[in-house]
Amino acid sequence: MAVIVVGRGSGRTWRLRLEPRSVLVWLPVTLALLLLLSGGFAVGFWSQRSVRPLPPSLFKTWAAQIDQQRQEVAEVRSSADEKADALSRKLAQLQAQVMRLDAAGQRMAQIAGIKSSEFNFNSTVAEGGPELPISKQPAVMDGTLDSINALSKQLNDHEREMHVLEDILLTSHLQKEIIPSGWPISHGFISSGYGERIDPFTGHRSFHPGVDFAGPEGAHVHAVAAGIITRAGPDAGYGNLVEINHGNGYETLYGHNEKILVHVGERVHKGQTIALEGSTGRSTGPHCHFEVRINGEVVNPARFVEASR
């Protein structure tokens, strides 16, 4: 059996002989090719069936999660903005506080009579020491926190300076208050000084332990320093006597008063009226006998009397 194939364009012919032997040779090859083609079509078909479209519910789930995350980010950002605003307000408050402290400190330094070169609020506080490692803090809003930390340090420095100034002022004020200074009367003159003199009653030389201030009867007698009244009443030759303990061993006595205006245990301030001038006791006329004692020993009142003049 023979099969003739004729080319359509060229008219060329091919002759295929279909003998039983030839058919047996080509048949296995043909079957193998058919099987390969069939397998390829089958794989393609099943692969197309396995690729299915994603369900719409999954897209909705993803969209909801994204919205939730976006909301969380917005909340975090809003919280960060609020904290930043709070930090900014705190920073402004600290800056205002520093300015007030600067002004108060400069005024206190002026009152204390301290030179600006010795105590300058605008200069860095002198301090030092070895540098030791510290644990590193996380960086959060570094600029703002650095400013707050710097202001906090400045406030601490000013606080220490203010305490020093306070101690200076208190010490200065207390010294002025408790150390005797000035005259015990506002008007008059010194009629008798401290030390040896001619006794007005005996005419002999004697020791006078104070200074006499002559003045009009009834004139005010003032405390020359703050203290506590330890004696207030008649006392032999002193007449009506007032004694004040000023602390630190200082005592002052005021004798020959017409009337006493204070009582034992009373606290008096510098310049307070404690009595009215008179001539009680061993006296020749209205005057105030003024004494100063330190640790119980009589001293010359002259330097205390002239201290405020």
pLDDT tens digits along 175-198: 667 788 899 999 889 999 999 988
What tokens appear for 268 in the block? 């008096």
Q: Which has more pLDDT, 219 or 148?
A: 219
Over residues 231-244, the pLDDT tens digits come to 999 998 999 999 99
Identify whether residues 27 and 94 lie together within a single domain: no
Identify whether residues 229 and 287 lie together within a single domain: yes
Identify whether residues 196 and 296 lie together within a single domain: yes
Q: Which has more pLDDT, 129 or 86?
A: 86
* 91 occurs within a structural domain: yes
DSSP run (H or E) holding 233: strand 227-234
Instruction: Give the per-residue pLDDT at 78.
Output: 75
* 132 occurs within a structural domain: no
* 272 occurs within a structural domain: yes
% of the chain beyond a pLDDT of 90: 31
Q: Is the model's pLDDT at 30 over the cut of 90?
A: no
For 60: left if phi > 0, alpha if psi spans -120 to 50, otherwise beta; the answer is alpha
Question: Residue 249's domain is classified under what CATH number?
Answer: 2.70.70.10
DSSP character at residue 105 = H
Instruction: Give the per-residue pLDDT at 151.
Output: 66
| CB-CB neighbours of 222 under 10 Å | 19
* 290 occurs within a structural domain: yes
Measure the CA–CA gap between 110 and 104, rounded to whole angstroms.
10
Measure the CA–CA gap between 257 and 201, rounded to whole angstroms.
19
* Number of domains present in the structure of the chain: 3
Instruction: Give the per-residue pLDDT at 57.
Output: 64
Measure the CA–CA gap between 207 and 291, rounded to whole angstroms.
13
Domain residues for the domain of 33 are: 2-48
Measure the CA–CA gap between 102 and 270, rounded to whole angstroms.
32
Measure the CA–CA gap between 113 and 104, rounded to whole angstroms.
14
- Is residue 253 within 8 Å of 294, Cβ to Cβ? no
pTM: 0.49
Over residues 148-164, the pLDDT tens digits come to 677 666 666 666 666 66
